[in-house]
């Protein structure tokens, strides 16, 4: 039987996972394909937006995705520790 803490952490994990899915779906693709992965793309860095890359919506979504992934990872570890202590 799950304890109250395990139920709460499980619920938080589900919410964080759904938020991460939505955030990733909002992000734009690079459209570089395989050639951009191999050779790299410098066109974004030559433009004005490339210089202010940290202020764009894409950069904010990427940062929020990293934060949510970290939260997800921490809660999974906590849930695992709670299960091991049983």
Q: What is the full DSSP assignment across 39-51?
A: H---HHHHSHHHH
Residue 31's CB is within 10 A of a number of other CB atoms, namely: 7
- For residue 17, what pLDDT is reported? 96
Mean pLDDT of 54-72: 89
| Total domain count, the chain | 1
Higher pLDDT, 59 or 16: 16
Q: Inform me whether the pLDDT recorded for 44 exceeds 90.
A: no
Q: Inform me whether the pLDDT recorded for 78 exceeds 80.
A: yes
């Amino acid at each position: 039987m799950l304890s109250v803490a395990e139920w709460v952490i499980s619920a938080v994990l589900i919410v964080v996972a759904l938020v991460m899915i939505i955030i990733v779906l909002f992000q734009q693709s690079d459209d570089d394909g395989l050639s951009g992965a191999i050779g790299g793309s410098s066109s974004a860095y030559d433009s004005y937006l490339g210089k202010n890359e940290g202020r764009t919506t894409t950069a904010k979504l990427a940062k929020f995705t990293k934060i949510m992934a970290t939260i997800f990872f921490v809660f999974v570890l906590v849930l695992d520790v709670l299960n091991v202590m049983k």
